[in-house]
Amino acid sequence: MTKILFVIAFLTSFTAFATDVREEAFVDIDIAWCMQPGCFEDGLWRIHRSPNCKYERRSAVIRAVCEIASDKDWRTADDWTMIVWGPTPSYEENDSDKYHFFYLHKMTFDGEPPIYSISWNANFKGEPVYSKAQWNLGEDYTYSKHPEKDIHTIEGHGSTIVLNFECSLVKYPEPETTSWNDYYKDAYSNYDMVFRTAELIALQKARIRQLMKLKIEQIRDNDYRAEESIETLVENAIKVQDAWENYASARWHEVAAAYGRGSGASLGGSTAYFDLQVERIKDLLVVYK
Answer positive or negative: Cα dihedral of 222, 227, 231, 233.
Answer: negative
Stated as kind and residue range, the H or E segment containing 115 is strand 115-120
CA distances from 268 to 28, 204, 265 (A): 22, 17, 5
Alpha-carbon distance of 141 to 139, in angstroms, equals 6
**Would you write out the chain's pLDDT as a tens digit for each of its 289 residues?**
434 434 444 444 444 455 678 999 999 999 998 877 767 665 556 556 777 788 888 889 999 999 999 998 999 999 999 999 999 878 876 645 589 999 999 999 988 999 999 999 998 888 999 988 988 888 899 999 999 999 999 999 999 999 999 999 999 999 999 999 999 988 888 889 999 999 999 999 999 999 999 999 999 998 778 889 999 999 999 999 999 999 999 999 999 999 988 778 999 999 999 999 999 999 999 865 4
Instruction: Please give the model's pTM, rounded to 2 decimal places.
Output: 0.86
Give the other-Cβ count within 10 Å of 229's Cβ. 12
Q: For position 51, what pLDDT does the model report?
A: 77
Collect all residues with Cβ–Cβ distance below 8 Å to 244 and sequence separation of at least 6: 276, 280
